[in-house]
Amino acid sequence: MRRTSLHPAPALLLTAAALVTLTAGCSAGPAHSGTATTPQPRQATAVATEEFGLLAGGGWAQAWSLWDPGARQTITQADFVRLNTECRPALGTPYVIDRSATLDATTVQVDWHRAATATGAGTGTSTGASGSNTVRYQGGRWTFVPDPATLAGYRLGVDRLVQQRRAAGACH
């Protein structure tokens, strides 16, 4: 009587393991992963999309972590979270990327606007904000760069910036 094994043959297991190993290097992974050896501008747009999604949804700490190192030196992660907690921007209003332009192999400019939102008690609509940001490839990953005016505001310090934003009615 011949016995049959319920286990796959060792050669089949080795083949499957080799296939998994070979294909694992081909997966795309996250847009901001450090696995890419050459910059891919589409990944820059994906990082901007992720940044804007986090900002619109209140993911302050995660949004800050996508910033380029120079921008992160302007305001600490804890202060960025505190700023947006004490003077919360409007949440849930999506950012829409209007255009993405590759400026060079490691720099992509992203133009955006925030979708229109209802204001007050249905009294009208606001066209939302618009702007342009840069996404840079450095240290093996794409990083988001807040615009110069935003960075200048952060240099004022959280207390002063919160005070200015409250006076302008920008806190929700």
Domain boundaries, the chain: 41-167
User: How far is the C-alpha of 92 from the C-alpha of 83, rounded, in Å?
Assistant: 18
In terms of Cα–Cα distance, which of 49, 62, 119 is closest to 90?
Answer: 119
Would you state the structure tokens that stand for residue 128, as one six-digit string? Answer: 């939302």
Pick left, alpha or beta for residue 140 (phi over 0 → left; psi -120 to 50 → alpha; otherwise beta). Answer: left
Chain center to CA of 126: 24
User: How far is the C-alpha of 94 from the C-alpha of 165, rounded, in Å?
Assistant: 20
83, 63 contact by CB (below 8 A): no
Q: With cut-offs at 50, 70 and 90, classify the pLDDT of residue 81.
A: very high
Would you state the structure tokens that stand for residue 141, as one six-digit string? Answer: 């990953």
Does the structure show a pLDDT above 80 at 66? yes
Q: Which residues of 50-59 are buried (b: 16+ CB within 10 A; e: fewer)?
A: bbbebbbebb
Superfamily of the domain at 41-167: NTF2-like; domain 1 (3.10.450.100)
Residue 3 confidence (pLDDT): 42
Mean pLDDT, rounded, of the chain: 80
User: How far is the C-alpha of 99 from the C-alpha of 70, rounded, in Å?
Assistant: 24
Does the structure show a pLDDT above 80 at 57? yes
Is this model's pTM higher than 0.85 or not?
no
Residue 35 confidence (pLDDT): 52
106, 136 contact by CB (below 8 A): yes
Give start and end residues of each alpha helix (H) in the chain: 10-24, 41-57, 60-65, 69-72, 77-86, 148-155, 158-167
Q: With cut-offs at 50, 70 and 90, classify the pLDDT of residue 79.
A: very high
User: How far is the C-alpha of 57 from the C-alpha of 55, rounded, in Å?
Assistant: 5
Residue 97 confidence (pLDDT): 96
Residue 38 confidence (pLDDT): 87
In terms of Cα–Cα distance, which of 62, 129, 65 is closest to 93?
Answer: 129
Q: With cut-offs at 50, 70 and 90, classify the pLDDT of residue 131.
A: very high
Q: Give me Rg for the CA atoms of the chain.
A: 23
